[in-house]
Structure 1
Amino acid sequence: MVAGRYRLRSVLGSGSMGTVWSAYDEFLHRQVAVKEMKVPPGIPASQADELRERTLREARAIAVLSHPNVIILHDVAREDDQPFVVMELLPSRSLAHILRDHGPLTVEQAAAVGIAVASALEAAHAAGITHRDVKPGNVLVASDGRIKLTDFGIARNVSEATMTRTGIMLGSPAYIAPEVASGGAVIPAADLWGLGATLFAAVEGHPPYDADGDPLETVGKVVNGKVPKPKSGPLADVITALMKKEPGDRITLREVRHRLYPLQTKTPLDLFGPELFRTPDGKKTSAQPDATDTQVIKTVLPDKPEKKAGESSSELATDPGPLPFLRPPTPAPAPAPAPEAATVFAPPPRLSRRGTAATAALVAIAILLFLLAAGGGFALARTVGGQPLLPPAAEPRTTPNGPTDVPAPSLVQQSGDAGYATGTGGQFGLAVPEGWQKFVAPHSTRLGVSTVVQYVSPDGRRSLRLERLAGYFKQFTGEGEYITWLKQTYPSDAFQLFGPEPAEDGKGTKLTYRTTEHGTLPDGGDKAVTRVTFVYLLKSGASLWVLSVTAPVEQEDATRQDVFDRIATTLSVSD
């Protein structure tokens, strides 16, 4: 029994990073999956504690994901100081086991898998989470047609490095991205490679690189060898476009879905028949690990010093606040006094019922006198000034699209990283409206690959967006190319540009544009929604930073004065 609630029943799978159990939730009376986290052998005690803490932090980050193609995380429990991750139990088989027992998938089956995994990764990346271990073993296919991505257990905060200072690398050698295998930054583009390698295995029946030999040898082939080519077919172009050595050359997840949708003409329920969920006689059971399981690889990193005793790891994710289940140290019980030295304390005197009532009455009278005095003074001042006692009722200015007046938000200073999509630089400081929700996602256009950090107002009507186009000024001489691209993004009759003009600070450029979107109402009529966007363009080194605030056109003046003008002056960047 874990945490007095989850009763472990049987092992579903086991690897170097943990064991997954089928379990029963005694409180909610439902089946769940419980992952028991393991500490790799040979890890010092201090780093073992760090790994456990990271597990709790990552679970907290992953819990924000709610997507039909992502396994749901229910809870994180602790038993004997060991973390247990409680997840949705999906009666299914992993894609790795299906490939092992039944061979390659058909084109439609592989397309369905690709669409599901790409959708799951889009949701994860939008939340700032990189999976880092996309492979057939982490893709679950259920007999009812559901396809889900699981095991975000080694998913990292995007600011973390690939290897720790002791040279430990986590991942599946046959599916790990070249830049990750070589010790580069962990960025969302690594998941694109993993998706491509998974689709390669789906159509070929084997991983792109040999995982039967030494893991370091396999990693060497990934880093230094040629990228294997899939056999010709409808998915070959997608796989090739994903498995590019340069992260910036890989196609986006949205493009993957656009290319795969036409290839799937049936539902997954019809594509994955019951025969795929029976293990043929003589095959190994699913509890036995595959050769492509996640592994812990010890490498020699001469340029990274060993961590000294007591030194904290720079790779540890940012502290999100108090972690669950942390108990304050229990103070040692005070020694009981000897009987002969015992002191008898008399209880404090109690107020009589009459004294308590009298005290309450006096307080009430004092408050009443204060209110009467304040109210009388206010009324006297209004009367002498010839003003009515009550102010006129304010009429809120509204339009069919919402209120025109919105209160000026309070700003809070924040810092972040807008460079993880490219792996270099990108630190910024910015005051953002308090209470606006943050989202982080990669963005790929003909101007290059970038990272978008976006903040959305609670009502969803206004948004703040910060984007860094790394290396922009290595290709273009000014902001004109960005403005040209911006115009081409919208239909000519739905885009109106004002500017550009130099910013007041003399450093950047400002421009404003309006866009109109049309939608169909339930009664068949047309609804046009016009939005206004204020933009601040700033050059830093070879990068172009784009700060923009978008709002309904009815809130144009309030948004410019109370949000954009105040925020633009707070932006600080380092390239």
Structure 2
Amino acid sequence: MASSSEETRVVAGRYRLRSVLGSGSMGTVWSAYDEFLHRPVAVKEILLPPGVTAGQADELRERTLREARAIAVLSHPNVITLHDVARQDGEPFVVMELLPSHSLAELIRDHGPLSVEQAAAVGDAVAAALGAAHNAGITHRDVKPGNVLVAEDGRIKLTDFGIARNVSDASMTRTGMTLGSPAYIAPEVASGKAVTPAADLWGLGATLFCAVEGHPPYDADGDPLETIGKVVKGEVPRPSPGPLAPLITALMAKEPRDRLPLAQVRRRLYPILEKAPRVLFGPEMFAAASGQREEATDTREISARPAVDDGPAETSGELAADPGPLPFGPSRPEASGELAADPGPLPFGRPADTLAAPRPAVGTLVTPAPVGRSTAATVVLVAASIVLFLAAAFGGFVAARVIGAQPVAPPSREDTSGLSAPQPTVFERRTGEASSVKGVQDGTFTVDVPSGWTRFTSSQAGDDLPLSTLVQFVSADGSQMLAVNHFPKYFPGNDIDDYVKALEKSRSSGEFRMVSQAKLAEQDGRTMMYRTIDRAPAGSVSRTTYAKVFKQGTSLWAVSVTVPTEQEGTAKTALYDRILPTFQVTG
């Protein structure tokens, strides 16, 4: 339960926080009350861990806003609805629909595997939600049981679009995290390849696997990097024989192009749902948690039934919804929502006699014609008035310019050309941490980066390559990126040719073209320029990368600048040639 101080806390002057629904490393989700619209809502607040740096704090804020942008464009019954993004003391708060529910992960943990019909209902709802997201150009990237909400009334919704991105955005990750949850991440995402909507198909298949088997397809409790390695290089787990096994296998195909499309997923699930009972998730599945919430209900609450959001934080890390009567919500019978039959006079309205005829627009020249004047005379008079008005205006302009000692003629084009000159890019010294998996401080570096670029860090496990740490600095619009990839203990078991081959293999035919390569004179390594194409439903995006790959000790370092291909002419001089000389490994 919230403390007394927390109960009186109000965000943005209207959202009164009530109690904590869940809390994790990324933030806290509150049950709250909108005092303006008089409705219960869920409010997600960023949680900044102790000792977090300013850069990491910015990353957490950006992730919160990315979630808001992702769900703002979606309006679907199987997606949590966004109400607002509020600001309080400079921090963003995401206000969303409040759904009394449990996550699918909680239901499986407490009650074991789902029935075939229950799993089919989950699969159909999540497939429908993903279909709406993909049609809007959004890839969820983290489909898993913990992000699927199931309500007692049968509603099923997909939530947490925190690492979702539009297909036109550059890849972004949370600091120290991979693009998704290791046990449910798609193989191509885990290996650092381009993220496409097909990654969500794998996530859906892995979620259904967990639903029918009672456990994730891969070990979620072990070393996350070891789990990623199994996802990339291991065999795909097979579900037990059953009606949904072929569907799960078709979704969890290693190659993205081989995965079953969402439309076919729903088509295959329809016969199962057609014969399913009307109530799939009975009240017994929600009784235990409800009992816990009743025990935790504050004695000051006098609502007819306990609010569903008063349980301990560990019972619900997701969004919940209508908590019923609000015990301390303001009682305002006058705000019943009904419109008055006659709202009365408008406080700033004009007198009735002024409404008979519209007023002429401001600045309109009106010359009424006297009674008896001919049409020709009226036209001549109006024309003469216009000429006199223009002459007076021009004379006034000339007089003002002369008195002010300013030239009468307009300034020449050369006088203003300097105003459109682009401002030079401002660079700042940044530090990155690309240490090895075990946390040894062997990957610290410094480099000059354009001011305002945001840093993201992730771990990678690529085809035919050992584990690595990738640090990315991304421009504000997501179109330009500096990437630093560190492969510890790469040598002597591998060489630079292996890296180049793996780079080419990471893309399908026609999506990668090596433009040029040259060996470095001062050290073991080479420079490269290559172009890639990212394909998505919203269209293809061509990017150009300038890279330097070199050996330092037993490590391989790859430092690259990626820009849209149409910028490649200026990017090499303005970015790559400016940044690369400043890169220095410091630890």
Query: Which residue matches 2:261?
Result: 252
RMSD: 3.9
* Correspondence for 1:68 among 77, 93, 106: 77
Kept in 2, the 8 Å contact 1:109–1:268? The answer is no
Picking from 527, 536, 552, the partner of 1:451 is 536
Q: Could you tell me which residue of structure 2 aligns to residue 45 of structure 1?
A: 54
**What are the Cα deviations for residues 431-457 of structure 1, in whole angstroms up to 9, with x where unaligned?**
xxxxxxxxxxxxxxxxxx96333xxxx
Q: Is the 8 A contact 1:112 1:268 kept in 2?
A: no
| CA separation of 1:424 and 1:45: change in aligned 2, threshold 3 A | farther
Do 1:6 and 1:24's aligned partners in 2 also have CA atoms closer than 8 Å?
yes
Alignment of 1:53-202 (within 5 A): 53-160=62-169, 162=171, 164=173, 168-202=177-211
Tell me, yes or no, if the aligned pair for 1:112 and 1:264 is still in contact at 8 Å: yes
Q: Distance in 1 between matches of 2:277 and 2:65?
A: 34
Alpha-carbon separation, structure 2, partners of 1:299 and 1:98:
38
Alignment of 1:155-554 (within 5 A): 155-160=164-169, 162=171, 164=173, 168-265=177-274, 269-279=278-288, 287-288=313-314, 300=436, 308=448, 310=451, 312-313=453-454, 315=474, 318=477, 425=511, 451-453=536-538
- Opposite residue 140 of structure 2, the aligned amino acid is H
CA distance in 2, matches of 1:311, 1:64: 26
Task: Supply the distance in 1 between the matched residues of 2:106 and 2:48 (Cα, whole angstroms).
Answer: 26
Whole-angstrom distance in 2 between the partners of 1:237 and 1:278: 33
Deviation string, structure 1 residues 102-153 (Cα, Å, up to 9, x no partner): 1111111101100000000010011111111111111111111111111112
Distance of 1:232 and 1:265 partners within structure 2: 21
Distance 1:143 1:424 in 2: 49
Distance in 2 separating the partners of 1:226 and 1:306: 39
User: What is the distance in 2 between the residues matched to 1:468 and 1:164?
Assistant: 20
> Secondary structure of the equivalent of 1:93?
strand
| Structure 1 pair 43–253 and aligned structure 2 pair: CA distance change class (3 A) | farther
Output the CA distance in 1 between the equivalents of 2:114 and 2:246.
17
Amino-acid identity (%): 69
> How far 1:52 sits from its partner (Å)?
1.7
Which residue identity lines up with residue 139 of structure 2 in the other structure?
Answer: T
3-state SS of paired residue (2:203): helix
Per-residue Cα deviation, 1:39-98 (whole angstroms, up to 9, x for no partner): 466653134224424532541342010001001010111212221111000111111111
Q: Which amino acid aligns with 2:453?
A: S
Which 5+ residue runs of structure 2 have no aligned equivalent?
1-9, 294-310, 319-432, 455-472, 480-505, 514-533, 543-587
The higher-RCO structure (CA 8 Å, 6+ apart) is: 2
CA distance in 1 between partners of 2:250 and 2:65 (Å): 35
| Secondary structure of residue in 1 paired with 2:250 | helix
| 110-119 or 209-218, larger mean C-alpha shift | 209-218
**Contact preservation (8 Å) 1:160, 1:315:** no
Task: Report the AA paired with residue 136 of structure 2.
Answer: A
CA distance in 1, matches of 2:509, 2:103: 32
AA at the equivalent of 1:49: D
**Cα distance, 1:261 vs structure 2:** 1.0
Return the offset for 1:274.
Answer: 1.0
How many residues get paired? 334
Letter matched to residue 288 of structure 1: E
> Whole-Å Cα distance in 2 between the matches of residues 113 and 194 of structure 1?
13
Residues 262-313 of structure 1 show CA distances to partners (whole Å, capped at 9, x for unaligned) of 1112568511111111227999977228999xxxx98759999766463614
Partners of 2:435 and 2:443 within 8 A in 1 = no
TM, length-normalised to structure 2: 0.51
Match of 2:519 in 1: none
Residues 125 and 29 (structure 1), Cα distance of their counterparts in 2 relative to 1, 3 Å cut: same
SS state of the match for residue 31, structure 2?
strand
Stretches of structure 1 that go unaligned for 5 or more consecutive residues are 321-419, 428-448, 454-465, 470-575
CA deviation profile, 1:341-391 (whole Å, cap 9, x unmatched) = xxxxxxxxxxxxxxxxxxxxxxxxxxxxxxxxxxxxxxxxxxxxxxxxxxx
TM normalised by structure 1 equals: 0.52
